[in-house]
Amino acid sequence: MSKPIIAIVGRPNVGKSTIFNRIIGDRLAIVEDKPGVTRDRIYSAGEWNGRAFSVVDTGGIEIDGEDQIMKSVRMQAELAIEEADVIIFMVDAKDGLTIADDEVAQMLLRSRKPIVVAVNKVDNLNRHDDIYEFYNLGFGTPIGISGAHGMGIGDLLDAAVEKLPELTEEHYEDDVIRVALIGRPNVGKSSLVNALLGEERVIVSDVAGTTRDAIDTPFERDGQKYVLIDTAGMRKRGKVYETTEKYSVMRALKAIERADVVLVLINGEEGIIEQDKHIAGYAHEAGKASIFVVNKWDVVEKDEKTMKNFTQDIREQFLFMTYAPIVFLSALTKQRLHKLLPIVTRASEQHALRIQTHLLNDVLSDAIAINPPPTDKGRRLRINYATQVAVKPPTIVLFANDPDMMHFSYERYLENKIRAAFDFEGTPIRIFTRRKSDED
């Protein structure tokens, strides 16, 4: 079951990113304070009045000149129209209704997607009358908001969430492992799907972005049922790959939400680039089991140290995903392809593993005895006990006398001890520290 997507669309400089940040702030998001996690995000998981969703900011495009503004705005709107379930159309009360606003509105009208008009910079009551001209857009009642002061954000979210589609349960059986393939354009996602299936089921081309749709493909191997979710392409006109690349995350987000295991594909011929870290970060932050797949290994010039050096590079570049196994293969020649599915199955099992409470506390007690918790001004953190509260990913709650004294380095130490005892290969672990109460 995937979360619906709310996209924020509008011309440059209307305050899209400010409202995006306000929505995240209102959600009181828990952000991991761990080294190596890429923070440059254009999306976040959100929740409002019990409805979970992903919110996407389509801002941040660099514009080379005035003649590029309309092209940029048009492209943003096209992408949001295609992928989003609800669109927040941002306009600026100070500027009034502009030609660029009207062009976006025409595209949105043709899309028949649910639209909420947010009139930003309504910073005081004197500006409230400025929203009325935006009725001319044809999307119903505009909502006056102020990104600078945080006014009206609740009303905006009420309107957007009300238009979200109802969640639908998927009909795959419980024993089916859902595998999403993610990666930047031209890393070989479709080729890998074809290689695993043993037949040409997906159109493959050397041109980045040629796959037109995300495709679910069920198959069975050695008695285990799988569903491959290929997130490869964007529908787009013209050669705008470089500009649109980061917006392809909207489709990847939907696939990641539905997956049990995520294959993060890396182009072995080109090596690791910053975009790879962004893409992997989506899977990590969603709490999914993950595997690095280094594709096109057949065309890499190799010696006895090449694989070792590439492995070391992945570990250094992806410090936040040291749990993820690495598979080197070639989808084209099927070199080492047989190694992949057993690792996928193993990662899925670990992702759903539940530890008995007494075993978990035995490991915790040993870890604390070897390396006691830190002290602060004479006070020592005292961890009373632990329990696993969820799977997919395994989530552990530590009950302690003062959660504020838990340093991320000591939490990481405990995580490493738990991993060593129970493996958990391929899956992140989430650890939370709560204050022990009398009821506990």
The structure tokens listed for 153 are 């954000």
**Are the C-beta atoms of 104 and 71 separated by less than 8 Å?**
no
Q: Please check if 296 is assigned to a binding site.
A: yes
Q: Please check if 15 is assigned to a binding site.
A: yes
Q: Please check if 58 is assigned to a binding site.
A: yes
The structure tokens listed for 200 are 């040409």
Q: Please check if 322 is assigned to a binding site.
A: no
The structure tokens listed for 147 are 């990104």
Q: Please check if 61 is assigned to a binding site.
A: yes
CA dist 424 and 233 (Å) reads 32
The structure tokens listed for 20 are 């995006």
Helix (H, G, I), strand (E, B) or coil at 116: strand
Residue type, 25: G
Residues with Cβ < 8 Å from 185, sequence gap 6 or more? 208, 209, 232, 233, 241, 245, 248
Given the DSSP bridges, would you call strands 395-400 and 383-390 parallel, antiparallel or unpaired?
A: antiparallel
Q: Please check if 60 is assigned to a binding site.
A: yes
Q: Please check if 233 is assigned to a binding site.
A: yes
Q: Please check if 11 is assigned to a binding site.
A: yes
Q: Please check if 183 is assigned to a binding site.
A: yes
Q: Please check if 46 is assigned to a binding site.
A: no
Q: Please check if 14 is assigned to a binding site.
A: yes
**Are the C-beta atoms of 427 and 343 separated by less than 8 Å?**
no
Q: Please check if 10 is assigned to a binding site.
A: yes
**Are the C-beta atoms of 371 and 413 separated by less than 8 Å?**
yes
Q: Please check if 190 is assigned to a binding site.
A: yes
Q: Please check if 57 is assigned to a binding site.
A: yes
Could you tell me the end-to-end alpha-carbon distance of the chain, in angstroms, rounded to an integer? 33
Q: Please check if 49 is assigned to a binding site.
A: no
Q: Please check if 184 is assigned to a binding site.
A: yes
Q: Please check if 185 is assigned to a binding site.
A: yes
Helix (H, G, I), strand (E, B) or coil at 170: coil
HSE value, Cβ hemisphere, 13 Å, CA-based, for 290? 28
Q: Please check if 25 is assigned to a binding site.
A: no
Residues with Cβ < 8 Å from 106, sequence gap 6 or more? none
Q: Please check if 297 is assigned to a binding site.
A: yes
Q: Please check if 287 is assigned to a binding site.
A: no
The structure tokens listed for 150 are 């945080």
What's phi and psi for 304, nearest 5 deg?
-70, -15
Binding residues for GTP: 10-17, 57-61, 120-123, 183-190, 230-234, 295-298
Binding residues: 10-17, 57-61, 120-123, 183-190, 230-234, 295-298
